């Protein structure tokens, strides 16, 4: 993995989403003082090499947990697929807190993952990925968030994307992700983009399970790109209230 860090203080490890890279976290991380921000490009994404064999999400979470076990106890912040990975890691390893940024909870949260999973691996690699990337490019002519996603996709391994997309859909269909997040043995915060982030059913699951969550209004799935100041304020308040200095 390619790992970058800046700042000083307790480590806050940022885990990006499907097809993404760590660059997208920089505007948000820059607004959170008092932490060492550790920005990871997962294998097959961003500046990291494309692997010869794609790891499953479970394997990737175990890989990350083993790496984190060699470091001081960290705060995990994950977006989308990264929120799922943060949950899987925190089930294996003691962490200080988990911040889930619009991570998958139910099947209605699957957008680009569903598009990837709708193809066989061969079909996706032979044309499905490029068609999806072209659609994101076209959307980016009017939406700066999609311009950023297009740039990230341009560095992503199609094979890694497809495997993780299929697994994200399968995990989301099980309806186990919200209970697993609620059951973590550390303070947790879920930030949801409203109205364009996780689906209404997933927001209902957050309420049903009494998960500590906050809506970032007038935002979508990339809430931390659209509203970095609002996200930073919520994260800073949560960490100050739940973690000893």
Number of folded domains that form the chain:
1
User: Residue 245 — pLDDT band, cuts 50, 70, 90?
Assistant: low
Question: Other C-beta atoms within 10 Å of 226: how many?
Answer: 19
Confidence of residue 108 (pLDDT cuts 50, 70, 90): very high
Residue found under tokens 């000083």 = 8
For 42-96, how does the pLDDT look when each residue is reduced to its tens digit (9 = 90+)?
Answer: 999 999 999 999 899 999 999 999 999 999 999 999 999 999 999 999 999 999 9
193: which DSSP letter?
E
**238 contacts 161 by C-beta, under 8 angstroms:** no
Close Cβ partners of 38 (under 8 Å, ≥ 6 residues apart): 3, 4, 5, 11, 12, 13, 14, 74
The pTM is what? 0.96
Show the tokens assigned to 100. Answer: 């889930």
Q: Which residue has the tokens 């998960």?
A: 211
Rg value, the chain, Cα: 17
- 94: helix, coil or strand? coil
How far apart CA 12 and CA 49 sit, in angstroms, is 23
For residue 154, count other CB atoms closer than 10 A to its CB.
Answer: 12
Q: Which two tokens stand for residue 102?
A: 């619009």
**pLDDT of 244 strictly over 90:** no
CATH number at residue 185: 3.40.50.1820
Q: Give per-residue pLDDT as tens, 156-210.
A: 999 999 999 999 999 999 999 999 999 999 999 999 999 999 999 999 999 999 9
Domain containing residue 233:
2-242
List CB contacts of 131: < 8 A, sequence separation 6 or more. Answer: none
Burial tier of 144 (Cβ tally within 10 Å: 0-12, 13-18, 19+): exposed
């Amino acid at each position: 993995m390619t790992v970058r860090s800046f700042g000083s203080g307790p480590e806050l490890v940022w885990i990006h989403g499907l097809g993404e890279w760590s660059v997208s976290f920089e505007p948000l991380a820059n607004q959170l003082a008092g932490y060492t921000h550790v920005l990871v490009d997962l294998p097959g994404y961003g500046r990291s090499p494309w692997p010869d064999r794609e790891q499953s999400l479970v394997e990737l979470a175990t890989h990350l947990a083993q790496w984190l076990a060699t470091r001081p106890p960290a705060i995990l912040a994950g977006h989308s697929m990264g929120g799922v990975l943060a949950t899987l890691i925190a089930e294996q390893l003691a962490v200080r807190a988990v911040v889930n940024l619009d991570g998958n909870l139910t099947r209605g949260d699957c957008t680009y993952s569903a598009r990837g999973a709708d193809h066989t691996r061969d079909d996706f690699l032979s044309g499905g990925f490029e068609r999806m990337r072209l659609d994101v490019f076209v959307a980016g002519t009017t939406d700066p968030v999609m311009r950023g996603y297009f740039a990230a996709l341009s560095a992503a391994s199609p094979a890694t994307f497809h495997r993780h997309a299929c697994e994200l859909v399968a995990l989301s269909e099980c309806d186990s992700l919200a209970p697993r997040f609620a059951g973590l043995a550390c303070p947790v915060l879920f930030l949801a983009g409203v109205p364009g982030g996780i689906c209404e059913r997933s927001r209902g699951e957050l309420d049903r399970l009494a998960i500590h969550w906050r809506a970032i209004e007038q935002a979508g799935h990339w809430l931390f790109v659209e509203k970095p100041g609002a996200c930073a304020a919520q994260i800073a308040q949560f960490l100050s209230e739940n973690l000893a200095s």
